[in-house]
Structure 1
Amino acid sequence: MYPYLDHDGPIAMAHRGGALHPDNIGFENSMHAFEQAVGLGYRYLETDLHATSDGVVVAFHDHRLDRVTDRTGEVSQLPWSEVRKARINGHEPIPLLSEVLERFPEARLNLDIKADNGVLPTAKVLRDLNAIDRVCVSSFSQARVRQIRREVGERLATGFGHQEIARLRFAPLRLSSPGACLQIPEYFGRLRVLTPGLLRRAHALGKQVHVWTVDDPARMHRLLDAGVDGLITDRTDLLRAVLIDRGQWKS
């Protein structure tokens, strides 16, 4: 068992800090959002990662600054000296990965590396801060997942890459993966990703299944009843209420 996954009951994870909580609208992946989630009692925070042109790792989702900040430009093409001037929703600075790890020493972080140039700098931050046991690293890119595993080593919890998820879903006898968990949507377009068979096979392999991004209470109840191990949500207030109602909230 990875220390990251050592949790009594379903894991409740604040997606981008709880991007659609009423107090967080417009402040995704900001210290404001992370602090609000931790204040609610969340132990698991999800954030995306990009690296600047000079290798500084920031908690940020988009490839470009334009959508959520008051500046423009592609993060990977700008130095930190420029990215640090951007303000989320005109107010909040973009946090460094190191700042999030240091500000919330009791929190566990789910990290989604969004670009190839972020892998090596992320590995360095995790080693330098001795944070390997506190994080799970995922990516849509199978290559990035494999690279971070090589760089950090077998102590690191990682999500399945998309190729590994597909093999477990469609050709389970061919699966061999060091991944700790599957972090998947219930549906991808019209394709149903989470099936009873997939959940059963994952559990038979000792792998957890976390579903994203779940913001409706009825759907939260249904997925928890089905036996998923964690839910990733933008509506941190609603998931907390659902787990309290079920007697499964652990802060």
Structure 2
Amino acid sequence: MSNPTHFKPDAPASLGTPALSPSTSADASPAFSTILESPSLEPLDLDNASQWRMPECWGHRGVRDTSRVRLLTRVAENTRASFVEACKQGADGIETDIHITADNVLVLFHDPKLDRTTTGTGRIREQPWKEVLEHVRTREEPVQPIPLFSEVLDILLLPENAHVKLNLDCKVDNDAVKLFTLVRDVIQGFPNWQKTLAPRVVLGLWHPKFLQPASSLLPYLPRYAISMSLPQSRRYFWDTVHGFSVYYEALATADGQRFLAECHAAGKGVCAWTVNGREEMRECARWGVRSIITDKPALWRGIKQQASGILADRSKALRPTLQTYILPWVSRKNYWFDVANEARKETEYLEKEGGRFDDVEIPELSLDVAGVENANVSNVL
């Protein structure tokens, strides 16, 4: 999900990223093999936990905390290495961001521009994959190419990842019809996609103009509204989405607690982002959110394991501590006026890139998930 970070208006046009010399390997760093070959963490024994539900853990842009791998301290976000490592750390899902290149190839990358994390420069949508973006590499080790959408689906289809879901953060600078047409074509290019992929993919939508195209072109994928603003979630998305992916600090406010109660009553899922602190994770469990998005799946796994070990008294596992009451006061980002200010800035960016929310006629959409042949889809709704 987006952090409260916003992009300034475009700088003067720059030269496109030059094509680099072709690499003899898609993985320029041998360190990637360390992640592929490292063992997954042992599955948790949660037989006793079937009577209650802990939030699912979704790896934020894959995962960036690889402290369990001795040779590495980090992996670059939104790379195959980060996706594989998230699965190995026990994530229930992967959250990633999707863009369209100039030659209509779907790539997974957070920013609209390449500059922050790669050897490339300029906007993704203005450059082709072939001969240009296919040669761009991350600055962080293990050096990685920009992953294709199809490549993360390949990772999900590995036998050991059969339980892992995929949350697609649909960036507002995309053309919605083109994006969902391409997503549909890629998904439907896989054998048996109705059973193996469709029940495991969620669309994350920032702007109401994405609602109608998502419903029309991908009726078999659940829709979640991504937002920092609870009033906007209610006004523009409430009747048209299956759930909400909400800034953690917004949920921590009094209105956030009302919003959670409204969602629980309406049967809508709630995902909280980006949750990296132990106490924040425990708080999400106490709130009863459906999932959390985190850079640290291994940390959440430890909390879940601890809770499952004393299920005779679940309240003891998640009992509030002194930190529960102190931590919200020690950071300005938790104060309602800062939450409101961040939401305002986010809205300004979204409307600059995608147009005014009020100019979109909110459609009447069915919340039935069409054509899915696997009951596991209920786990993401």
**Hey, what does 2:241 align to over in structure 1?**
179
* Bigger-Rg structure (1/2): 2
Superposition CA RMSD, Å: 2.7
Asked whether the 8 Å contact 1:138–1:161 carries over to 2, the reply is yes
Alpha-carbon shift at residue 103 of structure 1 (Å):
2.2
Separation of aligned partners in 2, 1:191 and 1:223 = 9
| Cα deviation code 1:49-88 (max 9, x no counterpart) | 0110111101111111111111112110111111111112
SS in 1 for 2:188: helix
2:97 to 41, 48, 55: 48
Alpha-carbon shift at residue 217 of structure 1 (Å):
0.3
The AA in structure 2 aligned to 1:181 is G
Separation of aligned partners in 2, 1:112 and 1:245 = 31
Going from structure 1 to structure 2, the CA distance change for 1:147 and 1:161 (only over 3 Å counts) comes to: farther
**Hey, what does 2:301 align to over in structure 1?**
240
Question: Higher helix proportion, which one?
Answer: 2
2:223 to 149, 158, 165: 158
TM-score (norm 1): 0.84
Aligned length: 237
Asked whether the 8 Å contact 2:90–2:298 carries over to 1, the reply is no
Alpha-carbon shift at residue 36 of structure 1 (Å):
0.7
Asked whether the 8 Å contact 2:211–2:240 carries over to 1, the reply is no
**Hey, what does 1:4 align to over in structure 2?**
none
**Hey, what does 1:201 align to over in structure 2?**
262
1:72 paired with 2:121, answer yes
Percent of aligned pairs with the same amino acid: 27
Question: Higher strand proportion, which one?
Answer: 1
**Hey, what does 1:120 align to over in structure 2?**
181
Deviates more, 1:203-212 or 1:102-111: 102-111
The AA in structure 2 aligned to 1:180 is H
Listed as ranges, the gaps of 5+ residues in structure 1 are 1-6
Equivalent runs, 1:1-251 vs 2, <5 Å:
9-22=54-67, 23=72, 25-81=74-130, 82-89=132-139, 91-105=143-157, 106=162, 107-114=164-171, 115-117=173-175, 118-129=179-190, 130=193, 131-153=197-219, 155-160=220-225, 162=227, 166=231, 169=234, 177-187=239-249, 192=253, 195-247=256-308
TM-score (norm 2): 0.57
Separation of aligned partners in 1, 2:230 and 2:255 = 10
Going from structure 1 to structure 2, the CA distance change for 1:108 and 1:193 (only over 3 Å counts) comes to: farther
Listed as ranges, the gaps of 5+ residues in structure 2 are 1-51, 310-381
SS in 2 for 1:13: strand
Separation of aligned partners in 1, 2:168 and 2:155 = 16
